[in-house]
Structure 1
Amino acid sequence: MHTILPFLLLMIAAIVLLEMWADKLKIAYPILLVVAGLVVSFIPGLPVIRIDPDLIFFIFLPPLLFEAAWSISFKEMKKWWRIIGSFAFLVVFFTALSVALVTNYFIPGFSIALGFVLGGIVSPPDAVSTGAIMKFVKVPKSMSAILEGESLLNDASSLIIFRFAAVAVGTGQFIWQDASLSFLWMVLGGTGVGLLLGWLFVQAHKRLPTDAPSDTALTLIEPYFMYLIAEQLHSSGVLAVVSGGLFMANRRLFFLNSSSRIKGASVWESFVFILNGIVFLIIGLGLPEIVAGLRADGTPLSTAIGYGVMVTAVLIAARIISSYGAMIATLIFRPSVAPHAGSRRRQYMMPLLLGWTGMRGVVSLAAALAIPVTLGSGGAFPHRHLILFITFVVILLTLVVQGLTLPYFIKRSKLFDTFKAETEEETVKKMKRGLRSHVYKYLKDKYDGELHDHAGLQKILKHWEEKSKAADEDEWLDKKTITVFMELLECQREYLAALNKDPAIDEEIIRRQLYQIDLEEERLNILMPKS
């Protein structure tokens, strides 16, 4: 423990530094983390980090999926549910089937069941990597919504495939009737457990006298409860977390106060960032042990690398084919729901870019590490080290090759240059004007009889009347003005820091005022024009 703890602390420090470096280089931080883990793994004397395969899903997946469910727009998911559903289920199965057939044909001793094990592991694209890359490129809302929604659901479908295939490898048989009933229960049971527990947790937050720290602490343990209970009932823990997370996220305004939402979001952002960072570093750090296992099995390293490249090519090809298949099917059967493309060239290029977004990451690693070392009969799980190595190669190649080239392809293709960046700004302006008018009308209607006798209410009404008549209260805030405002905020912080030295001043008052300044700075950061 005394050896591992300093190493874990150094890992977290390295994650923070590498994320800052990646942001400066404008590349996705998972790329640097994987490469850094690979480089560090060759340093002699480092402790070997091993995670129990039975715990890997439970440690990492529930909070990552729960946070993703809270971040995604449920409205956008409903809007594009056909495309999201096809990519999350049909495309995942097609990808796993493609991998199973190719590996069964080209890899000696690789059965169809083992191929589906590998296919289930590597078929789901990673939401973290895609989201990190999308920070640096401009894409339409429809494309980002499809990618986010797909990544939230494809984890469940791929892991279901993985589990059924692993059972088939262990037992040597696959009974379709039993598998169909089990699949149905995993989907319906997992979704039902998640919705039920989500409702119970919402009621707990509403009825218990919680504050921001206790609300945040509860949300940290809730995904683990959803996952654990669903798994104990032999249904899908992943679907339980996703459905429960979506249910709670859609009602967050009704059971969490503003303080809980603001402080909880900060805690969750840091928590998930550290979890993701540790996983991506583990991907790189685990390679030497995997290579040692390959050598023990008698598999040449060059041969294993060739298999990894082959599977990566199959994954990319399957996703691109699926993207064009989904586009053609949508245009034929439901042209009204197809994402707006603007031109024929963009229409035919968008599926290519969508197919190129299939970076693999956390879920694939977790599934690979969760492969049991031995079968129920006591024998070794066949080709376990080879599957782990192929998974590593797939993650590394898709992150580095696709991750580094995707922003270039998007900018080079100029597919999204004609999408107006002002669209969102105009929507915000319209929303603010409507909001100001709504507040003014509310005051006028509810307190009309008291306005003439109450000076405070008159001032409030006048304030909102001026706001409702103003074109836009922030339209005069250009980059120079915002920069000066930022300087004034820093000046206020310095004054408060000096004022806090006075023993007669309660420091809690100072902290509350500093928090208000922080919120104002966040508002200005949002309004800052992008250079």
Structure 2
Amino acid sequence: MIENFPFYLSLIVVIVLLIMLADKLKVAYPVLLVVTGLGISLLPGLPKIHIEPELIFIIFLPPLLYDAAFAMSWKELWRWRRIVTSFAFIVVFFTALSVAFVADWFIPGFSLALGFLLGGIVSPPDAISASAILKFVKVPRRMSSILEGESLLNDASSLIIFRFALIAATTGRFVWQEAALSFGWMVIGGAAIGVLVGWLFMKAHKYLPTDANMDIALTLVTPYVMYIAAEEVHSSGVLAVVSGGLLLSSQRHHFLSSSSRLRGVNVWQSLVFLLNGWVFLLIGLDLPEINEGLKKEGTALSVAIGYGLLITFVLIIVRTLASYGAVVVTQIAGRFIEVADRNPGWKAPLLLSWSGMRGVVSLAAALSIPIEMSNGVPFPHRNLILFITFVVILVTLLLQGLTLPWLIRKVTLPDYNDYLPEEETERLLKKGMHEHTLHYFKTNYSRHLISNGILRQKVAFWEQKSNPELEEAISEETKKIYLDILEQQRSWLRNKNKIDDKIDEEIIRKFLYGIDLEEEKLKYN
């Protein structure tokens, strides 16, 4: 390990350079990282990298999921809850079922249990790849929200399917009643444990005498505690991290100081940047080990590639059918219940179906298949399942990842009018926040306007939307008043976000970030 340390450091430099190149070429960086990892793995004389699945599940998965949950808007998740949950659970199940039947029919030696195992591995699309692509092209907010929401939940549902299929494949028995109870516990127990652990950490942040550095350290520990606690009681660690992350995200302004929020954003962005780069580079670097296992199994490379392409084709077809099936279901359901959009059209489902790139969770699940079963017999077709998974990841990243931006540009999506235009939203928020601030200030602190020049200048700023230079030193009393005003602005923005569905939460968060910056300025005056 020590002798290979310079090699690992050089890989970090490679990751940074590749992501810079991806931004320059406007290509999703996971594509370049996987291809480069594949190329590096073929170079002679380089250290052989062995990926332990436990490292991906324990080290990489919790913080990546937590960051995604923290960035997700609960309002958006609830607004598109029907399409999100259907893709995250129902579509994942039918995808795994379709793969199971195709594998059982076309791949010699595969049983339905093994096919279901493979289906559970390759069924969840990778959110990181889609997000990396969508930042280069403009898409309606609803599409990005659906993809983000789906990605938060589909990892959990696919890993639950994987666990049950692994039990069936290793024991040869499957009891539906027991499976249903186990499934319920994994979902409900995982979500409950995540919320409980999140609540405990929230109280720790709030009542312990922490500073910004301590708060950030606690946020780094939080997703690991959620994940491990849930896994220890055999519930879903993924759902625990997601549910706990959503809770803490929605309450962040109640238990974290402005310093902790501002510094935490920078720390988490850097951490997630490196983790994402590492996992996709490692996917490519792991090919030699996968190929060696395939040779031991005695399966020809060309045949294995064919199986991988077949499963990839099944995944694309099933997701396409599901996307358009969701349109039909939405139109029917709209006659009986209120839905967000009764007629989503044909363009959005096309792009949604083509956003199904696979990634790190699929590889980690495949690697976690035991080498031997409990009776000492080698696990059947383990190496072939690993290779098929690698082909699925590589082909979906290259085929869909490289063509999705082109498809988005060619298929002009309609303006759904889900939200007000950004400029109009910002103008509305500024006007409303200033009016609320002035009313609150004049109601509670009107007597201070007579004696305090700084506060008069602040009122002038809110009234005229200008920011004059302040020369007078700010007293502690003035700071206290101003902090109270800033907190009132935060409260108004959060309430506006709750009551107005036309307001995009991303813009609300931008305003809240600006208030945090304003609060930080006070500390240096």
TM-score by length of structure 2 reads 0.86
SS in structure 1 at match of 2:56: helix
Q: Does 1:34 align with 2:12?
A: no
Q: Of residues 446, 449, 452 in structure 1, which corresponds to 2:450?
A: 452
Q: Is the contact between residue 30 and residue 277 of structure 2 (CA under 8 Å) also seen in structure 1?
A: yes
> 1:454 offset after TM fit, Å?
3.6
Matching of residue 223 in structure 1 with residue 223 in structure 2: yes
Work out whether residues 77 and 145 of structure 1, in 8 Å CA contact, stay in contact via their aligned partners in 2: yes
Contact preservation (8 Å) 1:133, 1:407? yes
| 2:71 match | 71
| Match among 365, 373, 380 for residue 371 of structure 2 | 373
- In 1: Cα distance, 2:121 partner to 2:54 partner: 16
For 2:86 and 2:259, the matched residues in 1 are separated by 38
Matched, 1:2 2:19: no
| Matched residue, 1:347 | 345
**Partners in 2 of 1:280 and 1:375 — Cα distance?**
29
Q: Superposition RMSD on alpha carbons, in Å?
A: 2.0
Change in CA separation of 1:450 and 1:52 when aligned onto 2, cut-off 3 Å:
closer
Q: How far 1:259 sits from its partner (Å)?
A: 1.2
After superposition, the Cα gap between the structure-2 partners of 1:417 and 1:173, relative to the gap in structure 1 and judged at 3 Å, is same
Query: 1:393 maps to what in 2?
Result: 391
Post-superposition Cα deviations, 1:163-196, rounded to whole Å, max 9, x if no partner, equal 1101111111111111111111111111111111
Give the residue type in structure 1 aligned to 2:348.
Answer: M
Name the SS of the counterpart of 2:48 in structure 1: coil
- Distance in 1, matches of 2:466 and 2:18, equals 46
Q: What's 2:317 paired with?
A: 317
Q: Is the 8 A contact 2:331 2:342 kept in 1?
A: no
Q: Aligned-pair distance for 1:468?
A: 9.0
Which residue is equivalent to 1:337? 339
Q: 1:276 maps to what in 2?
A: 276
Name which of structure 1's ranges 349-358 and 146-155 shifts more when overlaid on structure 2. Answer: 349-358
C-alpha separation in 2, matches of 1:416 and 1:12: 41
Distance 1:348 1:451 in 2: 59
Aligned to 1:486: none
Q: Distance in 1 between matches of 2:419 and 2:232?
A: 48
Q: Which amino acid aligns with 2:396?
A: T
Offset at residue 338 of structure 1 (A): 4.1
Question: What is the CA distance between 1:417 and its match in structure 2?
Answer: 7.1
C-alpha contact 2:51 2:282 (8 A) present in aligned 1? no
Find the aligned partners of 1:55 and 1:164 in 2 and give their Cα distance: 22
Return the alpha-carbon distance in structure 1 between the equivalents of residues 375 and 54 of structure 2. Answer: 18
Q: Is it true that 1:302 corresponds to 2:302 in the alignment? A: yes
For 2:178 and 2:201, locate their aligned partners in 1 and report how far apart those are by CA, in whole Å. 33
Alpha-carbon distance in structure 2 between the residues aligned to 1:419 and 1:107: 48
The residue aligned with 1:358 is 356
CA contact (8 A) 2:189 2:230 kept: yes
- Indicate the residue corresponding to 1:267 in structure 2: 267
1:407 pairs with one of 405, 408, 425 = 405
3-state SS of paired residue (1:201): helix
**Distance (whole Å) between structure 1 residues aligned to residue 295 and residue 108 of structure 2:** 16
Pairs within 5 Å for 1:430-445: 430-445=428-443
8 Å CA contact 1:440, 1:468 repeated in 2: no
State the Cα distance separating 1:54 from its structure 2 match.
3.7
Q: Distance in 1 between matches of 2:456 and 2:276?
A: 52
In structure 2, the residue matched to 1:156 is: 156
Tell me if structure 2 keeps the 8 A contact 1:185–1:235.
yes
Work out the CA distance in 1 between the residues paired with 2:418 and 2:322: 29
1:106 maps to which residue?
106
Amino acid at match of 1:465: E
Alignment of 1:243-262 (within 5 A): 243-262=243-262
SS of match in other structure, 1:138: coil
Is the contact between residue 320 and residue 350 of structure 2 (CA under 8 Å) also seen in structure 1?
A: yes
Q: Note if contact 2:70-2:245 (Cα within 8 Å) is conserved in structure 1.
A: yes
Provide the C-alpha distance between the structure 1 equivalents of 2:418 and 2:119, rounded to a whole number of angstroms: 39
Offset, 1:457: 3.2
Q: Which amino acid aligns with 1:252?
A: R
| Amino acid across the alignment from 2:333 | F
Alignment-derived partner of residue 165 in structure 1: 165
Alignment deviations for residues 419-459 of structure 1 (CA, whole Å, 9 cap, x no partner): 79981221112111111122122221112233234434333
Deviation at 1:57, TM superposition (A): 1.0
SS at match of 1:378: coil
Alignment correspondent of 1:53: 53
Counterparts of 1:327 and 1:433, CA distance in 2 = 39
Q: Residues 445-486 of structure 1, C-alpha deviation per residue, up to 9 Å, x if partnerless?
A: 1122332344343333223222299xxxxxxxxxxxxxxxxx
Q: Describe the SS at the equivalent of 2:345.
A: helix
Q: Which amino acid aligns with 2:247?
A: F
Alignment partner, residue 146 of structure 1: 146
Measured in 2, the distance between the counterparts of 1:418 and 1:98 equals: 33
In 2: Cα distance, 1:450 partner to 1:56 partner: 57
Q: Which whole-Å CA distance do the structure 2 matches of 1:377 and 1:54 have between them?
A: 23
Q: Any conservation in 2 of the 1:212–1:263 contact (CA below 8 Å)? A: yes
Alignment of 1:172-183 (within 5 A): 172-183=172-183
**Counterpart contact for 2:140–2:413, Cα < 8 Å:** no
Amino acid corresponding to residue 369 of structure 1 in structure 2: L
Q: Contact 1:3–1:47 (CA<8 Å) still a contact in 2?
A: no
Of the structure 1 ranges 451-460 and 11-20, higher mean CA displacement relative to structure 2 is found in 451-460
Q: Aligned AA for 1:384?
A: R
The one-letter amino acid of 1:11's match is L
- In the alignment, the residues of structure 1 paired with residue 3 and residue 267 of structure 2 have an alpha-carbon distance, to the nearest angstrom, of 27
Asked whether the equivalents of residues 276 and 362 of structure 1 are also in contact (C-alpha less than 8 Å), the reply is no
Structure 2 contact 37–284 (Cα < 8 Å) conserved: yes
Q: CA-to-partner distance for each residue in 1:499-521, whole Å, 9 max, x for gaps?
A: xxxxxxxxxxxxxxxxx9xx79x
C-alpha contact 1:138 1:416 (8 A) present in aligned 2 = no
User: Aligned equivalents of 1:165 and 1:420: distance in 2?
Assistant: 40
Instruction: Answer whether contact 1:53 1:371 (CA < 8 A) is retained.
Output: no
Partner AA of 2:455 in structure 1: L
Asked whether 1:185 is paired with 2:185, we answer yes
| Secondary structure of the corresponding residue to residue 447 of structure 2 | helix
Q: Distance in 2 between matches of 1:417 and 1:331?
A: 19
In structure 2, what is the Cα distance between the partners aligned to 1:418 and 1:332?
Answer: 20
Give distance in 2, aligned partners of 1:456 and 1:39: 62
Whole-Å separation in 2 of the counterparts to 1:102 and 1:162: 17
Q: Pick the aligned partner of 1:463 from 458, 461, 464.
A: 461
1:369 CA displacement: 1.4
CA distance in 2, matches of 1:33, 1:128: 12
By how many angstroms is 1:96 displaced? 0.4
Deviations 1:38-73 (A, max 9, x none): 111111111112233344311211111111100111
Return the alpha-carbon distance in structure 2 between the equivalents of residues 454 and 276 of structure 1.
51
Distance in structure 2 (CA, Å) of the matches to 1:254 and 1:7? 44
- d(CA) in 1 for partners of 2:342, 2:25: 32
